[in-house]
Structure 1
Amino acid sequence: MSEEVKQRPARDLSSLPAKFVLTACAAAVAEIVTFPLDLTKTRLQIQGEAGPRQFIGGQAAKPYRGMIQTAVGIVKEEGLFKLWQGVTPAICRHIVYSGIRIVTYEKLRDSVLCKDEDGCFPLWKAVIGGMLGGALGQFFASPTDLVKIQMQMEGKRRLEGKPPRVHGIIHAFVKIVSEGGIRGLWAGWIPNVQRAALVSLGDLTTYDTVKQFLLRNTTLKDNSLCHGLSSICAGLVAATLGTPADVIKSRIMNQTRDKQGRGLQYTSTIDCLMKTIKREGFMSLYKGFLPTWTRMAPWSMTFWLTFEQIRRLSGIDSF
């Protein structure tokens, strides 16, 4: 009887809700630390869109040209703390997105797709698990991503003399629903889910695969060094796979909409993709790649190191 009592907490700590909460905590820490790079990335991705010439203080606005210039421009023109504008919906988004994708992937890995007899998780199974987990998590988190994108652009709109679209996270949700109904909350969800599937493929699959490779083929132990090296690789692959879809997603979500909730600049993902390439060239799909990668590397490292340590402190096995 005493042995059963001792074993119960371990089973409870390893439950799906517990893992979801631990994932959400680690994701929130990573999001707060690296959010300024996400804001910079979004501003870079919106640059170059067709529209009237913009003026700030009566003078023609000079478009930001790179990562550093964009970040410095935001601080000078809007203030230091504007680098965290939109962080609240971003944290909400990652609580849903990261929580669902990590739990889904781990469940698929351990119970559905299962490891081989030698304990290895084949790459093709990791790919399926990573993409399914990312797509499912992003579908449910898409409304918060939409709000985050719009809030990130508010500082720039004010400088351009345009009226603010939203005044906070609650107002943003209410405004979107009033203009486009519940479906309006999922505007741009297709490129959003596509991007998330690719990013999760790069992040989850790469992290898990590299980590297991290092543990089996090197003298590294299951420690912070191993987790750090795996997370750096994960961030690079995730940024490479996800940036084009991220550019399209940002533009679709940021566009002005009519009373029926229909976009005024782009009618679909394909329309946005073709117009972007035609007007700005193929490499425009990699606008914001440097801050995306610069952010994903520390984000992945912060998240995975925090996540692994929280799991360990909670008595849950390493991911």
Structure 2
Amino acid sequence: MGCTSGGIGSFIGNPCELAMVRLSADAQVPAAERRGYKNAIDCIMRIVKEEGVTALWTGATPTVLRAMLLSSSVLGCYSEAKEILVKTAPSIFVSVGSTPTMFAGTTIASFIANVVCCPFDVIKSRIQTMPKPESGQPPRYSGMVDCLLKSTRQEGTMVLYRGFTPAFVKLAPYTIISLMVVDKITIAITGKSGF
């Protein structure tokens, strides 16, 4: 369920994700190389005008795969982490429904999800920010696999984990809050953990 909903949501939201990535990347390149977007709406409108409507889904494959992996790994790891914590340290983690267990479980799940998803994030961002090719020239990357191969050949495999720490710092609080709230509400209503 988490895998499917994550994939559908990210496909629908890809134009906004693309605009966010391009706006961020635009600020980091020399002035002569900037696309000069004013804001997210301007970015989306210019992509449609200059590149066509389908360009709004540039990088959709790694974006969707990343979201599917993120949703499924977070949800799957969360319940497993809670069970393991309760078994290995019952004096600290007294039950799967206790706040310390939930907090530690979501932190572990966030870390594992970030390990799984970071390569897709790097590939997605590289595809979404590649410069427009000169007339008659091929794009820098022909797709996700080409981007993966070129990036790792040129920069080594650790390039796939560039930005790991900021991504974890962004993901962990969101995951901790959302899963703990849902879990606490589920416990209040049903009397047992929802995950």
Determine if the TM-score, normalized by the shorter chain, exceeds 0.5: yes
1:241 and 2:113 matched: no
Q: Which residue does the alignment assign to 1:161? A: 31
1:220 and 2:95 matched: yes
1:150 and 2:28 matched: no
Q: Which residue does the alignment assign to 1:54? A: none
Structure 1 counterpart SS, 2:27: helix
Cα deviation for residue 229 of structure 1 reads 1.5
Q: 1:133 and 1:263, CA in 2 relative to 1: closer, same or farther beyond 3 A?
A: farther
Q: Which residue does the alignment assign to 2:56? A: 185
Q: Which residue does the alignment assign to 1:199? A: 70
Structure 1 counterpart SS, 2:38: coil
Identity, in percent, stands at 28
Letter of the 1:153 partner, please give it: A
Structure 2 unaligned blocks of 5 or more: none
Q: 1:254 and 1:215, CA in 2 relative to 1: closer, same or farther beyond 3 A?
A: same
The one-character-per-residue Cα deviations of 1:162-207 (angstroms, maximum 9, x if unpaired) are 3443111111111111123221111011111111122222212212
- Following the alignment from structure 2 to structure 1, what is the Cα–Cα distance between the partners of residues 138 and 83? 45
Question: Contact conserved, 1:207 with 1:231, CA < 8 A, in 2?
Answer: yes
Cα deviation for residue 265 of structure 1 reads 1.5
- Following the alignment from structure 1 to structure 2, what is the Cα–Cα distance between the partners of residues 137 and 297? 20
Superposition map of 1:22-171 within 5 A: 105=1, 130-157=2-29, 160-162=30-32, 163-171=34-42
Structure 1 counterpart SS, 2:97: coil
Q: Which residue does the alignment assign to 2:161? A: 286
Cα deviation for residue 209 of structure 1 reads 3.5
- Following the alignment from structure 1 to structure 2, what is the Cα–Cα distance between the partners of residues 141 and 207? 25
1:272 and 2:144 matched: no
Matched pairs, number:
185
- Following the alignment from structure 2 to structure 1, what is the Cα–Cα distance between the partners of residues 140 and 189? 48
- Following the alignment from structure 1 to structure 2, what is the Cα–Cα distance between the partners of residues 148 and 164? 13
Question: Contact conserved, 2:58 with 2:128, CA < 8 A, in 1?
Answer: yes
- Following the alignment from structure 1 to structure 2, what is the Cα–Cα distance between the partners of residues 213 and 221? 9
Structure 1 counterpart SS, 2:142: coil
Cα deviation for residue 263 of structure 1 reads 7.3
The one-character-per-residue Cα deviations of 1:146-172 (angstroms, maximum 9, x if unpaired) are 111112223223xx2234431111111
Letter of the 2:164 partner, please give it: F
Cα deviation for residue 144 of structure 1 reads 1.4
Cα deviation for residue 140 of structure 1 reads 1.6
Task: Give RMSD over aligned pairs.
Answer: 2.9
